[in-house]
Amino acid sequence: MLCLHFLGCYSFKGISIPENVNTFFVENTQSSVSAVPATFPVGFTEDLKNKIRNESRLKYTETDPDVEFVPSIQSFQVLAIAPKPGESAAINRLELNIQIEYINHKNEKDNWKQNFRHFADFPSSENLLNVQDQLLKIISEQLLEDIFNKAFTNW
């Protein structure tokens, strides 16, 4: 009886994907936020595809996917977070907010739309352009992990 229960789901590293879900598609990441580096949306789309390919059994397809991801950048901002004497900040924070719409064509009850927000701090003495790529890599890794977990571990 227990074996029959587990035959209906794929489970690896805590992920659970229904047996009837075999393919996925990721829309190109959209952004209406002007401050986002021009290459970031394309890179984020590819990183999300690669994460799903590498950490699940799902196959990528552009035709009739079982599940779809629709990413959209909602905000990209630098905030001063640690004030120091003289009304300036000692630490700045780069914060990125991405909305994901998850569409499950096999089971509409599993559809969701959620914002995922992460940040990375850097010294105010650093120019954002000098550290931006490194910070975006750190932020993206966390966002991708959260998106993957939401989609495939029901957290």
Residue 63 lies in a domain: yes
* Amino acid 142: pLDDT: 98
Residue 15 lies in a domain: no
* CATH number of domain containing 93: 3.30.160.150
Among positive and negative, which fits the CA dihedral 107, 108, 109, 110?
Answer: positive
* Amino acid 49: pLDDT: 98
pTM: 0.86
Domain span including residue 98: 21-152
Per-residue pLDDT band at 62 (split at 50, 70, 90): very high
Is a pLDDT exceeding 90 seen at residue 88?
A: no
Per-residue pLDDT band at 86 (split at 50, 70, 90): low
Is a pLDDT exceeding 50 seen at residue 77?
A: yes
Give exposure, 6-45, as e/b (b: 16+ Cβ within 10 Å).
Answer: eeeebeeeebebeeebbbbbbeebebebeebeeebbeebb
Is a pLDDT exceeding 80 seen at residue 69?
A: yes
3-class DSSP assignment, residue 73: strand
CB 92 within 8 A of CB 131: no
Please identify which residue in the block is written with the tokens 């489970």.
11
Q: What is the mean pLDDT of residues 21-38?
A: 95
Tokens of 3: 């074996």
User: Could you tell me the CA-to-CA distances from 53 to 5, 22, 49, 86 in Å, in that order?
Assistant: 25, 11, 6, 50
Per-residue pLDDT band at 154 (split at 50, 70, 90): low
Residue 75 lies in a domain: yes
Q: What is the mean pLDDT of residues 23-49?
A: 96
The number of folded domains in the chain is: 1
Is a pLDDT exceeding 50 seen at residue 8?
A: no
Residue 4 lies in a domain: no
Please identify which residue in the block is written with the tokens 């966002």.
143
